[in-house]
Each structure stands twice: as structure tokens, then as C-alpha cells.
Amino acid sequence: MNDNEIKQLVADTGRRLLDKGLVARTWGNISARKDATKFAISPSGLGYENMEGSDVPIYDMETKTWEGSRKPSSEKKIHAAAYKLYPEVNFVIHTHQDYATAVGLATTNELEMSPEEKDLLGKISIAGYGLPGTDKLADNVTSSLKNSQVVLMAHHGALILGKDVEDALKKAEVLEEVCKRAVIKKIGTDAIEEACKIAGLKKMDTDAPEKESDKIAPFKAQLDDMAQMIGPKYSTGAVAKAKEGLSEDDLQALSLLLNKAIICKKYTEALGIDGRLSSFDCILMRTVYKFKYSKQKNK
């Protein structure tokens, strides 16, 4: 493929991930190898629904420079590590999928896989936490990549390497199914349905009365994207404040995020795991998101 085709592939894959519910808004990132030293990667802060091939920069791993009008994703170091470690890998996706994210807060010991699933996914590792875009996160993920091409990023999401785009997407979907089975086995389908119901209510009119049975006790953020969009603590008031001035599209993203956050909370509770992010990290991420990334989404 030429440069334009590779860049368009990245943009098109972003919309496919949106349709599959594996990413939302600007969260996550996608890359496609061009050659031994360069790859196309989704730009920083641009929503997938608005992304075109012309928006996608090409990053040079050797010179650490890029071609294009937009900055590459802040997670470019992680993608570079994947391509350097595995010459056979030609496509990398970083998702914020619900169930894999929940498992990433705990342990992979709960996962049960068929021989076919094991053959496809290989070893699944969990990388230690680091704030988004930092060297600490890149170093932790790189360490986990040395023995795995599927890495759960604690408090964050999943990184999936593939020989091509279809291989990477298939791995992402199978990973989510494997993790979903583990979560449901631990908390049951009723808890999943409750999370969906509560998250759906939260995207409605903030003045609408809330039934006592539909409330959930406030809890601290366990996930980067929750900290970014809502803040350090989930509560009815925090959600109402986060919704101020949001478009219908953004409200839908908030609903999806809440659904994931509640599932993660119920799963970690069932396992007796705390999983809370520090208040400082949450406030920092919320501030950066509010004054930077959320404003870039539609530009």
C-alpha cells in the first residue's frame, strides 16, 4: 500500500472500532506499519468519526519525527516498541473495551480459553500502570510486550498486535469475549444489566428524578477515561456536571463510559480488589482532558 492507502486504513479502522464498541471519542489509538522504521498512527485528540486519511500522520521511529499536519498519538512510543519487537506485526490497536479493561484491573488467572482462543491470543499479560502518554506507561507496556502480543493496560485498556488489520480486530473481539465470560462468571448477568440500566439513565435529562432503586453509591475512579471525563469520583452530581454542554454524541460516549466503569467496579468488588486511582492522578487527567483533548475532538 502507498502512504495514502495506509493512512486511510487507519482512519477507516477507527470507525470500525467505534461500530464494534471497542473505543469511544478520542480514546485508544491505531497504527499500521509502513516499513521497517515508519508507521501511520491515529492523530492526537481527534474523534474517530471525524478522522480522514489526510489527518493521519506517519511517524519515524528512528528520527522520532512525523509527516503530516497533525501530531501523532501520545502513545506512539508504545506502538514503536511493538513494531521493533515483532517484525511480523503490521497493525496495532489500543482499545478501551469494557471487559478486557475490567480484567486488566485484576488478574488473568480468571480467564478460561478454548484451544482455538489460546492459539489466537497467546499469552495475555497485564502491564503496570502509568499515566497516559508518559514514559512510565510506555516502559511498563514495553516490558509486557516482550512475552506477549496481547497486553492489558492496568486502569486503561488493551493493546493488541496483529499481522494485519483483520488479525488485530479478530484478536480484539475474541479477547473481549474471553474477558466477558470471566466477568459474568464472577458477577452474573444481572449485574451487567443493572450497569447498562444505570448508565442509560445517566445520559438523560439531569433534571429527571432518579428512582432510589436506580442509584449507585459514589465510588472513586478506577479508569483513566472515567477520571478524564467525570473526575476522581463517580456520583450523580459529578455526572450532571460532566454532562454540561455535551452534544448528543458526547452524551452517548459518557453513557458507554459509565457502563464500563460500573462493570469494573462490580468486578473488582467481587474479587476483593481496590483498584482506585490516586486523587492526584485523577484531577490531573481531568484537567488535561477538559482544557485540551475534549476541545480537539471535532477539530
Active site residue 75: yes
Cα torsion angle, 212, 231, 47, 79, sign: negative
Calculate the alpha carbon distances from 126 to 55, 66, 275 in Å: 31, 30, 14
Calculate the alpha carbon distances from 209 to 212, 236, 257 in Å: 9, 11, 21
- Give first-to-last CA distance, the chain, whole Å: 27
Which residues on adjacent β-strands are paired with residue 72? 43
HEC profile for 262-285?
HHHHHHHHHHCCCCCCCHHHHHHH
- Of 217, 134, 117, 133, the C-alpha closest to 173 is 117
| Coil/strand/helix, residue 12 | helix
- Of 5, 169, 192, the C-alpha closest to 95 is 169
Work out the burial of residue 2: count CB atoms within 10 Å of its CB; fewer than 13 is exposed, 13-18 middle, 19 or more buried: exposed
Cα torsion angle, 161, 73, 251, 282, sign: positive
Q: How far is CA 138 from the centre of its chain?
A: 15
Catalytic residue among 5, 49, 62, 75: 75
Q: How far apart (Å, rounded) are the C-alpha atoms in residues 14 and 115?
A: 30
DSSP class of 289: I
Looking at the annotation, which residues are catalytic? Answer: 75
